[in-house]
A and B are shown apart, each in its own frame.
Chain A
Amino acid sequence: MIQYKPTTEVDFVVIGSGAAGGIMAKELAIAGFSVVVLEQGGPGAYGHEQDYNKDELLNMYPPKPADRLMSDPVRQPNTFRRNDKEEAVRGTSRYGCVLGGGTVTYGGSSWRHLPYEFNEATHEGAIAGTGFADWPVTYEEMEPYYTKAEWEIGISGLRVDSPLFAPMSKPYPVPPLPMKSSGALLKVAAAKLGLTVVPNVAAIISQPYQGRSACIGCGMCSGFGCQVKARSSSAVTMIPIAEKTGRCEIRTYSYVREISVDNNGRVTGAIYFDAQYREVFQKSKAVVLSANGLESPRLLLLSKSARYPDGLANANGVVGKYLMSGNVVDASGLFEHPLNEFKGIVSGAAILDYVPSDRSEASMAAGA
Chain B
Amino acid sequence: MNQPSRRSFLIGSTSGLSSIWLASNWSGILDAKAHAQQAARQPLPLAFFTKEQATDVDAMTSQIIPTDDTPGAHEARCVYFIDRALTTFLRDSQPVYTQGLKDLQARTKELFPSASKFSGLTSAQQIQLLTAIENTPFFTTVRTHTITGMFASPAHGGNYSKAGWKLIGFEDTLDFKPPFGYYDAVSKPSR
Residues in chain A within 8 A of chain B (CB atoms) = 54-58, 60-63, 65, 74, 92, 158, 175-176, 178-185, 187-188, 197-199, 216-220, 227, 332, 334-335, 337-344, 349
Residues of chain B with a CB closer than 8 A to A335's CB: 183
Q: Select B180's contact among A55, A57, A217, A227, beta carbons within 8 Å.
A: A217
- Within the assembled complex, what's the spacing in Å between the Cα atoms of A21 and B175? 31
**B77 shortest CB reach to chain A, Å:** 16
A-B contact pairs, 21 of them (CB 8 A): A54-B174, A56-B153, A58-B29, A58-B153, A60-B18, A61-B89, A92-B19, A175-B191, A179-B190, A181-B182, A181-B184, A184-B186, A216-B175, A216-B176, A217-B175, A219-B174, A334-B8, A338-B169, A339-B180, A339-B182, A343-B176
- Within the assembled complex, what's the spacing in Å between the Cα atoms of A182 and B178? 13
Which single residue of chain B is at the shortest CB-CB distance from A198?
B190
Given A56-B152, A57-B152, A60-B18, are A158 and B191 neighbors across the interface (CB < 8 Å)?
Answer: yes
Are B181 and A74 touching (Cβ within 8 A)? no
- Within the assembled complex, what's the spacing in Å between the Cα atoms of A342 and B151? 13
Which single residue of chain A is at the shortest CB-CB distance from B174?
A218
B4, B178, B185 interface centre (most CB from chain A within 10 Å):
B178
- Within the assembled complex, what's the spacing in Å between the Cα atoms of A88 and B152? 34
- Within the assembled complex, what's the spacing in Å between the Cα atoms of A332 and B183? 16
A65, A178, A349 interface centre (most CB from chain B within 10 Å):
A178
Are B22 and A180 touching (Cβ within 8 A)? no
- Within the assembled complex, what's the spacing in Å between the Cα atoms of A179 and B191? 10
Are A217 and B187 touching (Cβ within 8 A)? no
Residues of chain B with a CB closer than 8 A to A343's CB: 176, 180-181
- Within the assembled complex, what's the spacing in Å between the Cα atoms of A158 and B181? 22
Are B30 and A184 touching (Cβ within 8 A)? no
Residues of chain B with a CB closer than 8 A to A183's CB: 184, 190
Residues of chain B with a CB closer than 8 A to A338's CB: 169, 181-182
Residues of chain B with a CB closer than 8 A to A332's CB: 11
Which single residue of chain B is at the shortest CB-CB distance from A177?
B178
- Within the assembled complex, what's the spacing in Å between the Cα atoms of A54 and B172? 10
Given A334-B4, A344-B176, are A61 and B22 neighbors across the interface (CB < 8 Å)?
Answer: yes
Are B182 and A57 touching (Cβ within 8 A)? no
Residues of chain B with a CB closer than 8 A to A178's CB: 178-180, 184
- Within the assembled complex, what's the spacing in Å between the Cα atoms of A61 and B4? 32
Interface residues of B in 138-157 (CB under 8 A from A): 152-153, 155-156
Are A220 and B181 touching (Cβ within 8 A)? no
Interface of B is mostly: loop
4 A-B pairs closest in CB distance: A181-B181, A337-B182, A61-B26, A181-B183
**A61 shortest CB reach to chain B, Å:** 4
**A235 shortest CB reach to chain B, Å:** 20
**B149 shortest CB reach to chain A, Å:** 11
Interface residues of B in 56-99 (CB under 8 A from A): 89
Are A74 and B23 touching (Cβ within 8 A)? yes
**A266 shortest CB reach to chain B, Å:** 44
- Within the assembled complex, what's the spacing in Å between the Cα atoms of A74 and B186? 45
Given A55-B153, A180-B184, A187-B187, are A61 and B29 neighbors across the interface (CB < 8 Å)?
Answer: yes
- Within the assembled complex, what's the spacing in Å between the Cα atoms of A346 and B126? 40
Q: Select B26's contact among A63, A92, A197, beta carbons within 8 Å.
A: A63
Are A184 and B176 touching (Cβ within 8 A)? no
- Within the assembled complex, what's the spacing in Å between the Cα atoms of A142 and B60? 60
**A260 shortest CB reach to chain B, Å:** 36
Residues of chain B with a CB closer than 8 A to A198's CB: 190
Since A57-B152, A92-B19, A343-B176 are in contact, a sample of 7 more A-B pairs with Cβ atoms closer than 8 Å, ordered by chain A residue number, is A180-B178, A184-B187, A188-B187, A197-B190, A198-B190, A339-B180, A343-B180
Residues of chain A with a CB closer than 8 A to B190's CB: 176, 179, 183, 187, 197-199, 349
**A310 shortest CB reach to chain B, Å:** 35
Are B191 and A176 touching (Cβ within 8 A)? yes
- Within the assembled complex, what's the spacing in Å between the Cα atoms of A187 and B186? 13
Are B181 and A340 touching (Cβ within 8 A)? yes
Given A57-B152, A187-B190, A217-B175, are A181 and B11 neighbors across the interface (CB < 8 Å)?
Answer: no
